[in-house]
Amino acid sequence: MKGCHRPHRHFLRNLFFFFGGLTLLIAGFVFLSVATIKIPDFRSFEERKVVGSTKIYDRTGEILLYDVHQDVRRTVIPYSEMGVNIKNATVAIEDSSFYQHRGIRLKSTLRALLYNLLSGKTLQGGSTITQQIIKNTLLTPEKTATRKIKEWILALKIENVLSKESILETYLNETPYGGNIYGVKEATQSFFNKEPRNLTLAEATYLAAIPKAPTFYSPYGKNREKLDSRKNLVLKRMLDLDFINEKEYIQAQTETVSFRPQEKFGIKAPHFVFFIKEYLEQKYGRDVVENSGLKVITTLDYEMQSKAEEIVLNHALENEKKFGGENGSMVALDPKTGQILVMVGSRDYFDKGIDGNYNVAMAKRQPGSSFKPFVYATAFKAGYTPDSIIFDLPTEFQTTCGVYGR
């Protein structure tokens, strides 16, 4: 009877050797891969600079006139300003074990390695939040085994030097939400006109649903039902992870969420905006203006500016018909402070036919009679009165350029 157990023992021994050999093979594969590939310098991640958008506003600080980085709209904010709802919603859908792993999920990693060895195809498996940061900042988007191994190694390195809060802060400041919107601050402003910390649970779950495929899940696109389904998936994950309770789950499911109308992001008061941008570059340097994420509050009164633009356009068109004068400009100053309230540099900045982008208001032209008040004011300060008699005689003035007058 004892002999009947030998085939069984033989099978178990072979099975043990098989898996032992497979484990050694995988370990050898990883060792050789790591030994032969060049890992990017991790310091480049720590030292890199995330460029924020420099924004120019009107005098209220509420109306955005121009975003210097039209192609990338991003405002970097600290972890403390992000709000618990968007943090938990993002972790729930993107990386449910974020607070437990050390950069990679071991089971997923081993499964991906095994898949690659057996099939010879590209490594499969979902990336952790840490891996996604590495993939988007230090590595190329190519899908190869070598790049994946680099990603794992760098993810482990990041987890050893950065806190979970710092990693999640980086992710939420850099993840794309569609179009030129990057980071949770710009996303909440664009979609809900809110600060991240003020998002409702339902709004936060919608926001967390978008980054997987920002164009496909855009709230302004044709796949709103798909977005709704993914938002409900985010809620279910949050419930399963005990981020929310049953009551909060039900309330968020039934909450009606309204997105802001999609804006046509462009430029307001263009002549004034570029006048300000040039001034800032001369004073602080172009690099500061381009890359420091400044919030510039100007003196412009946008309500007055809008009316002035309409007036200049209408009168310029009327003058063109009557007199052939095709353009016009206007500047309005606060007489007490000298602040620029209005600057209209032409009837239409974007009209190439009249060189509309040229700022007529800043052109060097003969001031004519508009200069007389300054002459009179200077004379009065010098003691002249309206009764003073001035002889109309040829007068010469010595200037650095020679004699002026006659």
Radius of gyration of the chain (CA): 33
Of the candidates 171, 132, 175, the residue with the CA atom closest to the CA atom of residue 152: 132
CA 48, CA 25: separation in Å to the nearest integer?
Answer: 37
Flag whether 50 is in a domain: no
CA 188, CA 198: separation in Å to the nearest integer?
Answer: 9
Active site residues: 94, 369
> What tokens were used for 359?
């700022």
What phi and psi, each to the nearest 5 degrees, are found at residue 151? -60, -45
CA 68, CA 57: separation in Å to the nearest integer?
Answer: 11
0.85 surpassed by pTM = no
Flag whether 386 is in a domain: no
> What tokens were used for 394?
């040829």
pLDDT reported for residue 242: 94
How many domains does the chain contain in total? 2
Does 189 lie in the same domain as 313? Answer: no
Per-residue pLDDT of the chain (406 residues; tens, 9 = 90+): 455 555 656 666 666 666 666 666 666 665 555 444 455 555 555 555 666 778 899 999 999 998 877 667 788 899 999 999 999 999 999 998 899 888 887 777 667 666 665 665 555 556 899 888 888 777 766 666 677 777 788 888 888 888 999 999 999 998 988 877 889 999 999 899 999 999 999 999 999 999 988 878 888 877 889 999 999 999 999 999 999 999 999 999 999 999 988 765 578 999 999 899 889 988 988 778 877 788 999 999 999 999 999 999 999 999 888 888 888 899 999 989 999 999 999 988 878 778 888 888 888 777 888 889 998 999 999 999 999 998 888 888 888 777 776 5
Flag whether 62 is in a domain: no
CA 343, CA 360: separation in Å to the nearest integer?
Answer: 10
Indicate the pairing of strand 295-297 with strand 330-333: unpaired
Does 331 lie in the same domain as 245? Answer: no
> What tokens were used for 134?
């590495």
Does 247 lie in the same domain as 169? Answer: yes
Does 323 lie in the same domain as 224? Answer: no
The domain of 133 spans 75-265
Q: Is 120 left (phi over 0), alpha (psi -120 to 50) or beta?
A: left
> What tokens were used for 36?
């032969």
Does 307 lie in the same domain as 241? Answer: no
CA 306, CA 320: separation in Å to the nearest integer?
Answer: 21
Flag whether 359 is in a domain: yes
Does 259 lie in the same domain as 118? Answer: yes
Does 261 lie in the same domain as 306? Answer: no
Mapping DSSP onto H, E and C, the string for 79-96 reads HHHCCHHHHHHHHHHHCC
